[in-house]
Structure 1
Amino acid sequence: MDALVSALADPARWRLVGLLADRPRPVGVLARLAGARQPQTTKHLQTLERAGIVTSRRVGQRRVYALRPGPLRDLAAELTRLADLTEHEGGAAADLDRTALTLDAERQAARAPGWADGRAFHFHRTLTGDPGRVWRHLTDPSLLAQWWTPDALRTSELVFQARPGGRIVQEYRDAEDIDGTDTPAGRADGTVDDVRPGERLAFRLAPHLPGGGPAFTAHLELLLSPAPGDDGPTGPGDGPGTELDVHYRITDSTVDAADFVAGIETGFRQSLDRLAALLAETPAPATVPPARTGTTGHTETANRSTP
């Protein structure tokens, strides 16, 4: 496919393909119709022939070239596949288009500090696994790092101390920036406010502007409750499940926060979709060790994960 695309990328060769689509033609006629010198036309035709796009045969004193439709159909099929992949409902390109539309509106609204204060979002997921298992995915940095980013990004640094007053640091990069040489896609820090294992997690998180200051403060409340799951050990419908509700509210918004606010709905939805997929794919452990608690009775977790 690379040779085919490379051969067709030259405008002069593309013009010859168009001329040969009408009918087979000799080199001299092709050169005249294309408005080119015959030696140049011959070289272009030889390139097309090596790529399998045209074939030639000598007829008397002339060499006549003909177009082979098969490779063009292969190229058309591949282009159609790529277009379908891009346009499929819920795809990354559609998300980017929606974010762009939202971004225009947010930039128009961001005229003074506090412009987005009070803006609220609600997300809901029914997840595989009991609340204890889901809780670990919400508070264990090694598990959080596997899902707490939008699509096409990866967690590059994560600190999450699941106790009141605990510290949060989140940095993420492009998923293909494996060696960390590119600029981080985002960074935020915050504080845990409330921890009720298996029931409620509340924290504040402030995304950083490019200059380093906070864009706004996000107040997140995550509520967990048991829900019927898939088939369990004793029969259909008795497997564990968890209802997760996320309430997201903005305060302290700056005039430069429009780009961040525009991406909240899409980005957090994608993150929760990744969480749901992770829980559905990962088998529940056969035994679950009891949570380790400190003197305050709140669950303690490892506090750093750097993939």
Structure 2
Amino acid sequence: MDEIASALGDGARWRIVELLAERPRSVGELAELTGLRQPQTTKHLQTLARAGLVTVFPLGQRRVYAVEAAPLKALERGLRELVETTEAHRDERDGIARYRAAIEAESVVADRERWADGRTFSFERVLAAPLDAVWRHWVDPDLLVSWWAPPSMTVIDCAVEPEPGGRAVLEYRDAEGRRYRSEGRVHAAKEPEHLVFDLSVLDAAGAVSFTGHYDLTLAAVPDGTRLRLGLAITETTVEAVPYIAGIETGWGQVLDHLADTVGTSTRTTTAAHTKGKDTQT
């Protein structure tokens, strides 16, 4: 497949194949129709032949080339599978586009410190898993690490210790090796249904970019467990734009990951709104 794609990646060879698709042709005829010199045309035909795309027929003093359909059909199947895979993962591409648009929109209003203070977000899922199982996925580090990071990120350290004053931390690394760390404390915990904790997102120097106040409630329902997560923002810096812009998409993806980890999410809703005197949208 690679050799076929490489052979067809040249515009002149693509044109030769188009001409041969109509009917077999000689080197001279192909050179005349493409505007190439015969030695160039011969080299292109040799490349196409090595890839199995054309066959040569010696006819006395003449050499006539014909296209082979089988490699083109194989390429067609490969391209069709590629298109199907792309369509199946369209949401991930759309998520990146939404994130970029959100960064641009937030950059307009991030003209001062504390610009997003008072902004709140809410997320809800119904997870096809028992209440105690969902709770464990929040408080057991070995389970928490299995879902608590955006796609393509690797968790390095994570914990939500279910007791007042307990440690809350999330650190992950992207594919380029950059690290992102958040630290905070648990304020309230009632097993297996309620967690309240803070996480401050830290910049490269260890300073706070913004702090998120999280309120997690879990409740047993006939379909499994209803999860509600509230998030309020404080201590916002101007440099926090990429983080604030990514909250809705990022937490949506992370909670979908949790849903896939514990079972199947039977309902997904996310909502975000802002409030507070100094908040702009």
| Aligned counterpart in structure 2 of residue 265 of structure 1, from 248, 253, 258 | 248
Structure 2 partner of 1:100? 100
Stretches (4+) displaced over 6 A: none
- One-letter amino acid of the counterpart of residue 82, structure 2: L
Match status 1:125 vs 2:125: yes
Match status 1:253 vs 2:240: no
Render the CA deviation track for 1:76-128: whole Å, top value 9, x for unaligned: 33223323322347521121112122221111121111111122111111123
Quote the Cα distance in structure 2 between the aligned partners of 1:264 and 1:7: 45
Quote the Cα distance in structure 1 between the aligned partners of 2:134 and 2:159: 18
Q: What number of residue pairs does the alignment pair up?
A: 264
Render the CA deviation track for 1:169-217: whole Å, top value 9, x for unaligned: 212124xx5xxxx323522112111111112101111222344422211
Structure 1 partner of 2:273? none
Q: TM-score, normalised by structure 2?
A: 0.86
Quote the Cα distance in structure 2 between the aligned partners of 1:219 and 1:203: 6
Structure 1 partner of 2:220? 226
- One-letter amino acid of the counterpart of residue 94, structure 1: D
Quote the Cα distance in structure 2 between the aligned partners of 1:126 and 1:217: 27
Asked whether the 8 Å contact 1:56–1:64 carries over to 2, the reply is yes
Quote the Cα distance in structure 1 between the aligned partners of 2:156 and 2:38: 58
Structure 2 counterparts to residues 276-287 of structure 1, below 5 A: 276-280=259-263
SS in structure 2 of the partner of residue 107 of structure 1: helix
CA drift of 1:13 comes to 1.9
- One-letter amino acid of the counterpart of residue 43, structure 2: K
Mean Cα displacement is larger for which, 7-16 or 116-125? 7-16
Structure 2 partner of 1:183? 177
SS in structure 1 of the partner of residue 254 of structure 2: helix
Quote the Cα distance in structure 2 between the aligned partners of 1:105 and 1:152: 25
- One-letter amino acid of the counterpart of residue 220, structure 2: P
Structure 2 counterparts to residues 15-94 of structure 1, below 5 A: 15-88=15-88, 91-94=91-94
Change (3 A) 1:74 1:259: same
Structure 2 counterparts to residues 78-227 of structure 1, below 5 A: 78-88=78-88, 91-174=91-174, 177=175, 182-184=176-178, 186-227=180-221
Render the CA deviation track for 1:121-180: whole Å, top value 9, x for unaligned: 111111233322211111111100001112222212224333212222212124xx5xxx
SS in structure 2 of the partner of residue 134 of structure 1: helix
Quote the Cα distance in structure 1 between the aligned partners of 2:206 and 2:14: 50
- One-letter amino acid of the counterpart of residue 8, structure 1: L
Asked whether the 8 Å contact 2:25–2:65 carries over to 1, the reply is yes
Asked whether the 8 Å contact 2:196–2:214 carries over to 1, the reply is yes
CA drift of 1:29 comes to 2.0
Asked whether the 8 Å contact 1:119–1:249 carries over to 2, the reply is yes
What RMSD over aligned residues (CA atoms) do the two structures have, in Å?
2.0
Quote the Cα distance in structure 2 between the aligned partners of 1:172 and 1:154: 5
- One-letter amino acid of the counterpart of residue 187, structure 2: D
Percent identity over the alignment?
45
CA drift of 1:33 comes to 2.8
SS in structure 2 of the partner of residue 112 of structure 1: coil
Change (3 A) 1:211 1:15: farther
Quote the Cα distance in structure 2 between the aligned partners of 1:251 and 1:215: 10
- One-letter amino acid of the counterpart of residue 214, structure 2: L
Change (3 A) 1:209 1:18: farther
Q: TM-score, normalised by structure 1?
A: 0.79
Structure 2 partner of 1:2? 2
Quote the Cα distance in structure 2 between the aligned partners of 1:96 and 1:259: 12
